[in-house]
Structure 1
């Protein structure tokens, strides 16, 4: 396990850099994790992060990419519910990278 310190608080992460305690997540943590991933957060990035957090709260699972694109398409529109759009935002893998920034566990099936 690893950890990082931010604003006087220590955050533990697993071996892949995902938060261990999902309850510690906040937008400062998201910005820190995004920066570590080489992502400059925009409104579009936040839209995906907030969508993922709502999805996780409802289903208690981080969605795989196929499920993510379909669910985003239903809620945010077809233009955002496609892999090209999501990969443009999160080039390291939309489900994997966006879930990390959102403070969620690594999606099932992600390597």
Structure 2
């Protein structure tokens, strides 16, 4: 994991302080993960952040897929498409890029 400028991360690259996050940090983390963020990536990132700050937990993978099916107009969002966007695992990479805490178990 490359280091992220001006923020503290753990050994896996997750932010130590979720309040250090901003869009530039997200882009930098995504670049370290080999991902160029598109509008579709941002929808997922924004969903994770909104859900986390509302419920103080991360959504399950099933909740993520169901929400994205409603959000994406082209209805192509399913588990395969989420893994296409986040090849290292949506519950790992999307959470990391969103600046949220690492889950104990993730796909």
Relative to structure 1, the CA distance from residue 71 to residue 105 in structure 2 (aligned partners, 3 Å threshold; closer, same or farther) is: same
Q: In structure 2, what is the equivalent of residue 86 of structure 1?
A: 82
CA contact (8 A) 1:68 1:95 kept: no
Q: In structure 1, what is the equivalent of residue 10 of structure 2?
A: 14
CA contact (8 A) 1:3 1:13 kept: no
CA contact (8 A) 1:17 1:100 kept: yes
In structure 2, list runs of 5 or more residues that go unmatched: none
Could you list the structure 1 runs, at least 4 aligned residues long, displaced by more than 6 angstroms after superposition: none
In structure 1, list runs of 5 or more residues that go unmatched: none
Q: In structure 2, what is the equivalent of residue 40 of structure 1?
A: 36
Q: In structure 2, what is the equivalent of residue 24 of structure 1?
A: 20
Q: How many residues align?
A: 106
Instruction: State the TM-score, normalizing by the size of structure 2.
Output: 0.85
Q: In structure 1, what is the equivalent of residue 99 of structure 2?
A: 103
Measured on the aligned residues, the alpha-carbon RMSD in Å equals 2.2
Greater strand percent: which structure?
A: 1
In 2: Cα distance, 1:55 partner to 1:81 partner: 18
